[in-house]
Structure formats: structure tokens, C-alpha cells
Structure 1
């Protein structure tokens, strides 16, 4: 792909919260001693009276957010995905999900692209966990434009929302006048008839590059960006499978329980199709530079291209 601007979606999260705070006085942001890393410090600087640092106590933070939501506030509880979805799962399930409270969870540093923080902080299971909570909306934006739109959409949605953001800067691919974000609706980024690549989050830009490589080989791949994993755009997924006959899912998440599993759930019921799932293959990550980890775990454009060529075509 030609050189484009790159921004980490965690940066987008912080900036979007600050903008949201200007428009809505009911927005409250909570953090667990990670405001600098999650970028909620941007909101804190603008609205210190509406920012609550709960300390290294993520479970308590979710409880505080739940309580605030019952008073008419719209809390955004923020931490690393490993802590927001992992450590605080019980509180998210029982204190937010069960009573259907209007709490938004901003989970940053998701996936292996956390890099040097290593396996303990590289959360590749959060989408699977959040998908299982009844009524939970799960959003995984692909770039800066989409991340900002997702934060606004989360505010406007009545009910619990899980927002997934990354640490590594990613290409801005949605910076165009006709871009529209709609909860539960996928976005077709490229048309193609030979196979459908359905991706979410960080690898979406890499999938577009992989599609260009396939096109050079005479293979036209349809590329779909799924920013909302739950509720999934079942109509678009089924239509793409029927149109192309082959589906590839790509995600910076375990191949168990994430986008690939959600897509397979739809296709086995509506349009049985051969599916190749590309993601983290039932293993932990490791410490190392983020870009090198993305390549090692097969989520860079070249690896996606090679896997498609060798495994599904």
C-alpha cells in the first residue's frame, strides 16, 4: 500500500472521549492507574472533575461504573484489555451485563501488538469473553476514523458496550467523505468474486494489501471490514459467502471464539462455506517488538497472502 498516516486506536479513544466530553456533560471516564497508556489522560486534562482514577483495582472500577450509570451518568471504564475483560470479567458479567446497565468499557492494548509487555498482557481472548455476555455489544475498530466513530456510537447506544483498541499505530484507511459507521453493519472495502476476506481491527489494512497481491495473481478478493463483532452483520457475511464460495477471516485474536467463530456460526446455519481462520492459533504471545510479533504470528500482509494462496485457493 502507498504510505499513509498511522495512528494507534488508543490515541483515537482518548481524543474521542475529550470531544465527547465537550458535547455531553453526563460522560464520566474511569481509569485504573493507566491514564497515560490508555490515553484517557486527554479527557482528564480537559475535564478533571469527571475523571476518576480507581487505582490498580479494575474489578472495583467496573462496580463504580455500574453505580454511576444508575444515576444517569454514561461511564467509560478504561484499562488494558487483559484487565478490563480478563481480570474484571465477573464484574462485567454480573454488575454490568446482568442488569443491562449503560456502561461502556474502553479496552486498550489488545492483542499481540502490545509488544514488549509480553504474553501476560497480550490479550487474545477478550472478544471471545465479551461475546458470551448477553446483550453486550462488541466493537473492534480498524483505524483512527473508525475508533472515534465507535466511541460516539457507543455513547448513543443504550446498554453495555465493549470497545477494543490497540497500542500499535495502524494505517488510516477510512478517511473518506462517504465513510459511515453503523453499529452491526460491516463495510465492503474492496469488491471481488473469487473469495471473501472478512477482517477486524489491526489486520484490516494488511488484508487490503494482501488483496492487492492476490489481484496481481489474477485473484479478486472481496475485503470486508467488520468493526462490530456483536451484533454481527449476518446478512453481509452470508451474502459474501454465497457470492464467492470461499471465506477467510482475519483477526488479532485467538481463532477460538472471536470473529472467525462468529462468522462460522452464521455460515454453518445460513450458507455452508469453506472457511480459513487466520489469527492466533491456540497459543500465548511473547515479548518482542510489536511489528515483528505481527509478522511472526502471521498477521502481516505477506503472511496473509501466502496463507490464502496455500490453504484455501
Structure 2
């Protein structure tokens, strides 16, 4: 079982790069511990800014530093970063086109029992709607490191959501195919296309393996890039499949499912079903308990897939 969360992979990548790039600056809103950034703050205090619980200030300060030539990484719980500071993300970062990477930690239902106030089930819809804002949900620690290596090399705004807990490895350190803004194909089959993002890629992959053993061929796309969205891959594989299933830790409105349905409906009509969180406050429980309850685990995905192609 992997014990390294994606947020730790972010810290490791920043630590590896800050020696050669002193323009890197990390900002937190009293969240260095939950973001696994304490090692960075302790080793590079001159490259670290603590704003306290002030998410709007966090984003505006990051934008100001970026305008001064810094590579700013603003880190805060996704539930607050994507709502409380939404105007600052829209105006100070995206509209002003500043080099700020907004990192939403503990995304989705990671905070479990803390309830709707601490869940971020709307951030894909909110952030993809903002011009100039790119949106990424990496699926495991190795992909996270690849993504951040690319983000460190550009100067454009981005929002990145990662979960709170470690997730099972999908890739390997020595075998992690990655192309910026291009979905990764994890398996191929012509019965069903499954498009998943973030923590849903793991259970989607497991479900596909079991379906293959039962004679159902499944293509799985790891759509870590929600914006820019890889329309080409969706068209290519949806046109070969009998149906399409999307899986996301997000509201049913404005997320991955809506994007895929829009493309498939326009370019290669097929039946599209979206597995997501409900349009209501979710039940209380750990992430795995919530996923199982709403059919977002391996068994739920497998069952829905069989309904679609059975």
C-alpha cells in the first residue's frame, strides 16, 4: 500500500527544484501541515509565506509576488480556495494572467465527516469556467510529480486539486507515461469507454481489469487535464465504443461528465452515463465509505458498466 499522498509528492518536487530556482515561493493559509509543506517551510523560510486563515489574501499576495517575477504556489484546502477566494482567483490570477499555481488540497470529500462546508464538489465547474485558468486533477503521486515538473516550466495560471490521503499507485516511477494536456490511455477495449479523473482513476482501472476477465473490453482514459480538455482522445475512443461512462468526485453539474457528454453528443453520439457525487450534501464517512455508498468504487463502477453494455 502506497503511503505517499499526492500533496507530499508536490512538496518533494518543490524541494528538488527550489535550489536551482530561487524564484519559487510557496504560500499557505495556515495549512502547511495539512499540505505536507512543513519541510519546505523549515528548510526554505525565505521562500515561504504564511498568510494565516485568509484565503483571499493568500491568492492576492501570490498574484503580487508573481507580478514581481516569482513562481508562486498558493496552497489551501480546495473547499476554501475554490469558493472563498474565487473572485481573487478569477481577477488577480486568471484575468491578470499571473504565474500563480493554485493548489487545492484535501479536495472532493477528503474531509469526510466535516461535511459540506469542507467538501469541494464544485471546483471543476467553477475553475474551468474562468478564462485563462487551467485545471488539473492528477491521479497518483508519480503523475503529480510529472505534472508539477511541467508546471514549474511555464508561467501560466493553473488550479490543481489533490486529495488528502495516499492513493494506490496507478503508474510506476520508471513507467509513468505523461504528456501535458493529453489524457493517458490505461487500457483499450471496444465495448466501453471509461473516462475518469483524480482519485476515481484507481477504481476505474481496477473495474476495467475485472471486466476484461469477464469478456468486456474497456478503454480507460485518465483525464487528469480538465482544462485544456483532451477532446481528441474522447472522440477517438468514444467512436469505437458502444457506450461511455464517466467517473468523478464532483457534483453532477459542470464537471467531467458534462464535458464528455458535450463532446460525444456533438461528434460521435453514444449513450453517456455519469457517476458522480449527488446534488445534495453527502453522507458522513471516510472517502472510501462515501465512494462505496455512491457507487464510485470498483464494484459500483463495474456494476454500472455492466448495465451499460450488458
TM-score by length of 1: 0.95
Equivalent residues in 2 for 1:1-313, closer than 5 Å: 4-175=1-172, 177-311=174-308, 313=310
Q: Is the 8 A contact 2:242 2:309 kept in 1?
A: no
What is the Cα deviation at residue 286 of structure 1?
A: 3.6
* SS of match in other structure, 2:124: helix
Work out the CA distance in 2 between the residues paired with 1:245 and 1:42. 49
Work out the CA distance in 2 between the residues paired with 1:22 and 1:225. 32
Deviations 1:24-44 (A, max 9, x none): 111100000011001122211
Work out the CA distance in 2 between the residues paired with 1:284 and 1:156. 39
Work out the CA distance in 1 between the residues paired with 2:265 and 2:71. 38
* SS of match in other structure, 1:35: coil
Work out the CA distance in 1 between the residues paired with 2:306 and 2:6. 30
* SS of match in other structure, 2:244: strand
Q: In angstroms, what is the RMSD of aligned CA positions?
A: 1.4
Q: Which runs of 4+ in 1 moved over 6 A?
A: none
Q: How many residues align?
A: 310
Q: Which consecutive residues of structure 1, in runs of 5 or more, have no partner in the other structure?
A: none
Greater Cα shift, 206-215 or 174-183:
174-183
What is the Cα deviation at residue 116 of structure 1?
A: 2.7
What is the Cα deviation at residue 311 of structure 1?
A: 4.3
Work out the CA distance in 2 between the residues paired with 1:299 and 1:70. 41
Q: Which consecutive residues of structure 2, in runs of 5 or more, have no partner in the other structure?
A: none
* SS of match in other structure, 2:155: coil
What is the Cα deviation at residue 274 of structure 1?
A: 1.2
Q: Is the 8 A contact 1:15 1:42 kept in 2?
A: no
What is the Cα deviation at residue 224 of structure 1?
A: 0.9
What is the Cα deviation at residue 270 of structure 1?
A: 2.0
TM-score by length of 2: 0.96
